[in-house]
Amino acid sequence: MHIKQLYAENFRNLASVRLDDCGRFNLIFGLNGSGKTSVLEAIYTLSMTRSFRTRQMLQVIQEDKPHLLVTGKLVDSQQANQIQLGVQRGRDKSVLVKMAGQTLKSLAELSGVLPVQVLDARCFELLEGGPAVRRQFLDWPVFHVKHMAFFDVWSRYRKALKQRNALLRRGIIGDWQQFQPWDEALAEAGEKLTVLRRDQFSAFLPLFEQVYAAFDNDGKDGQKAVPSSDIQMRLKDGWDQTEGSLREVLVRQREADAKQGFTRSGPHRADIDVRCGAYPAAQVLSRGQIKSVASAMKIAQLALLANQGLDVVIAIDDLPAELDIYRRETIFRQLAEIPRAQVFVTAIDKNDLQIEGWMDTPDSYRVFHVEHGGIESTRV
């Protein structure tokens, strides 16, 4: 669904703010420290109950307040259905989520409701960061497709992994009978999880190639994009498939795992290998080229979920900071081609984006000015 109205209270420097009548494209501008990024952070919190900037939600709640609150009036992209969604995070670490007046019991119930993707300065980590960053990226579209039941499978996998690692840390070598139930549970959930990831990744790849091809701006700025044919991506499942099934690998590695004290193979070790020719892309691409690849990856994921019938949202923080004017235009034109996508983008000056020159339908976007933790709608 899309956000028609957003309200945030006690959220960083946002004491009590409201964005009314949000459009498909929403430009939020203001000086550094005014609260622009906090608005995007509130949108993500509404989607996932947590921040994309920190794991410590106490840092997000205003210091003298008992809790933060984010609510949203959500509508589908056809403006046919409407629901109210709210998230409250307490200083006592409590989490309360309500949707359509009902209290939700699990994060899984938010699957597909408000899929929010973030594009900010840290998107470099998709190529330069560790495998955990790419696993999170890999799992985002799997989580939001409800019929895939990703959250249930992942929860069972994590439980089995925790129990197996506990046995390994006890240094038990030889008494493998204790490992059998957890090896079987880990393998069963792990194989299902891998199939879910493979299916979505296979559907993602052609979309990435299509989106990334648009970033070749014919050298207008002197920095030509790397041809899409030079960028290759391969999903690494987390274990060597040539050595057999996950269960066979877990059984074979029991003794070595016990010596290390942890499970070395499985979906928790999965990764996306991104290469430019024969080399890791992060080693040979410039910063601008890396951001082009990362931007195309994020947009392709939005297109993937949109193709599967979901409305999607992207929060773009300080777009002009890393990308030239031509690539900014490419991003907006690519997003405009995803009818089910809603965009929130921040900038210091509203003229930094020249958005009115990139949109075929100027009426589809709104402009908001953030100053000293307050927000007001303004003219284009």
Is residue 37 marked as binding? yes
Domain 1-115+311-380 bears CATH identifier 3.30.2010.10? no
For 46-72, the pLDDT digits (tens) are 999 999 999 899 999 999 999 999 999
The Cβ-side half-sphere exposure at 112, using a 13 Å CA radius, reads 15
Q: What is the mean pLDDT of residues 292-310?
A: 94
pLDDT at 126 exceeding the cut of 80? yes
pLDDT of residue 26: 93
- Give 218's pLDDT tier (boundaries 50, 70, 90): very low
Tell me if 261 is assigned to a ligand binding site: no
Tens digits of residue pLDDT in 166-180 = 999 987 777 788 899
Is position 72 annotated in a ligand binding site? no
Name the architecture of domain 130-309: Up-down Bundle (1.20)
pLDDT higher than 90, residue 139: yes
Model confidence pLDDT, tens digit, residues 87-113: 999 999 999 999 999 999 988 889 889
> Is the model's pLDDT at 314 over the cut of 80?
yes
Does 51 appear as a known binding residue?
no
Annotated binding residue 45? no
Residue 30 in marked binding region: yes
217 belongs to an annotated ligand binding site: no
Please tell me whether 33 is known to bind a ligand.
yes
pLDDT number for residue 373: 83
pLDDT (mean) for 249-269: 93
Residue that the structure tokens 């041809």 belong to: 227
**pTM score, two decimals?**
0.91
In this predicted model, what pLDDT tens digit does every residue of 227-258 receive, in sequence order?
A: 777 899 999 999 988 889 999 999 999 999 99
Domain boundaries, the chain: 1-115+311-380, 130-309
Tokens 């430019």, residue?
Answer: 276
